[in-house]
Structure 1
Amino acid sequence: MSQHWSLPGELSVGDVARRSGLAVSALHFYEAEGLIRSHRTPGNQRRYPREVLRRVAIIKVAQRAGIPLKTIREAFKALPQERTPTVADWTRLSSAWKAELERRIDRLTRLRDHLNGCIGCGCLSVRDCPLHNPLDRLGEEGPGPRLLDPD
């Protein structure tokens, strides 16, 4: 582990990549997006505090759950002095994201369960449309597939 010109406990970008399982380019991207921070050594090498591993873990879990990077960044910025989230912070963040995940699950379940039926597009060309969409009433609710994508 190379830590020339770094403080004890600091990690190089390669160290963070190995420990987190992310590519160096992903870490550079996260840094450019304001999700993680490093400082530069006199030799212009990035050094990260050890707690960056927790931030990266939170980012990875949130992304797997479908949370946009913008939402993750806003959550981090809302922390006092943009500190690394504590257990209490994680509990609060994950609770806030849970409602959005429930909405997505409900939407995907509805899509899965009705995928073979009418999508409510207003086309009136499918034989079943008069049953699902008599007189194109769904057209009054707006464009697009109103039954499967009501948002």
Structure 2
Amino acid sequence: MVAVVQDFRDDKMGFNAIQSTRPETVGHALHDSPVGQLAWIVEKFKEWTDPANELPEDAVDRDTLLTNVSVYWFTGTAASSAHLYYETAHDPAAWAPKDPGTVPTAVAVALPTDVAIRRYAARDHHVVRWTEFERGGNFLALEEPGLLIEDVRAFFAGLARDA
């Protein structure tokens, strides 16, 4: 797990650095070029889907990839979506210590690529379900929808039993 986190930090955080410091610049650049927007999104799918798949479209249907890119392109929302990173990075309260949440929380982790660490999730949230999948990636709902649906249903069924 440490190697996965270190690789992500060392080689896959460029998107975060750009969006958390210059969201408008990257947003205008992406909106100016449909090819640029396509490259930006597909690169994320390449890096963050299950590495067992050679190409992004082996993990997620090509029409779904193109729909995702089209939504950003046609709505011109590359910059506004990048602002989440900027606002989080520039909000002192986001990093201030706080009491753990009390809402029952489930976490689904795709082991090949996910950098979630249980002790940090449990420090801030009331984690009642932690599921580790041997396949899938960051886009689990698109890559392995059946696995995720089954896990979500089991989470809520457990809450209903406990109520």
TM-score range, shorter chain: under 0.3
Structure possessing the higher radius of gyration over alpha carbons: 1
Query: TM-score if structure 2 supplies the norm length?
Result: 0.26
State TM-score, norm by structure 1: 0.28
Q: Which has the higher contact order (CA 8 A, sep 6+)?
A: 2
